């Protein structure tokens, strides 16, 4: 049993370092949800976050058959978890959030799932383009440190994660909100001040 657990952990860590978003793959090769133990050593926060994204994603898909085909994205920054995407019912939204909160390493969960049909491939492509536009604009902004900022876009809504000052958070959000195609900006920041 312990050997299987170590194997699952090794596969998980390998995937987190090599491939983003492989929760669907791991979901197919395991029959139970994952759970982090306090004894597991960490390599660094970014590796912990990548691992959390994968494991929480698998756990959500395992929580209910309707979540298997739902479009749920798990994002983590410094152990703060953001759920985006679409689920079929309010109950599935609640279940996904509760499942993420049960993960031992999650400090907090922001459940931004929408109850509706999954977005189209075209909408997801548009979101990828918006992510690129927002990120590029932020990096180009003089006098603004965006090194610790992650940009997530889902259905034209921009979610901003990271550790910043209140002043920088407001500037970052204002810049993102002025980019064509952005419908709304949501700040999921930790503040330095």
The pLDDT of residue 39 is 31
The pLDDT of residue 41 is 33
Q: Are residues 109 and 186 in the same domain?
A: no
Could you list the residue range(s) of the whole structural domain that residue 92 is in? Answer: 2-115
pTM of the model: 0.77
The residue from 55, 90, 115 where one domain ends is 115
The pLDDT of residue 145 is 83
Q: Are residues 83 and 173 in the same domain?
A: no
The pLDDT of residue 82 is 99
**Which residues of the chain have a pLDDT value below 70?**
1-32, 34-43
Q: Are residues 14 and 109 in the same domain?
A: yes
Q: Are 40 and 9 spatial neighbours (Cβ–Cβ below 8 Å)?
A: yes
Q: What is the pLDDT of residues 143-160, one digit of tens each?
A: 998 888 999 999 999 999
Q: How many domains does the chain have?
A: 2
**Which CATH number goes with the domain that contains 126?**
3.30.1340.30
């Amino acid at each position: 049993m312990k050997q299987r657990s170590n194997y699952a952990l090794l596969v998980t860590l390998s995937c987190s370092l090599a491939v983003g978003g492989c929760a669907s793959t791991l979901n197919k090769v395991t029959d139970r949800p994952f759970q982090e133990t306090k004894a597991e050593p960490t390599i660094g926060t970014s590796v912990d976050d990548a691992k959390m994204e994968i494991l929480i994603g698998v756990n959500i898909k395992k929580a209910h058959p309707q979540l298997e085909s739902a479009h749920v994205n798990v994002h983590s920054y410094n152990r703060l978890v953001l759920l985006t995407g679409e689920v079929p019912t309010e109950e599935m939204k609640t279940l996904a959030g509760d499942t993420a909160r049960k993960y031992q390493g999650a400090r907090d969960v922001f459940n931004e799932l929408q109850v509706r049909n999954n977005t189209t491939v075209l909408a997801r492509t548009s979101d990828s383009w918006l992510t690129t536009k927002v990120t590029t604009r932020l990096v180009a902004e003089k006098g603004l440190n965006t090194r610790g900022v992650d940009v997530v876009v889902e259905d034209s809504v921009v979610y901003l994660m990271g550790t910043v000052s209140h002043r920088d958070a407001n500037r970052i959000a204002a810049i993102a909100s002025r980019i064509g195609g952005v419908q709304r900006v949501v700040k999921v920041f930790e503040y330095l001040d």
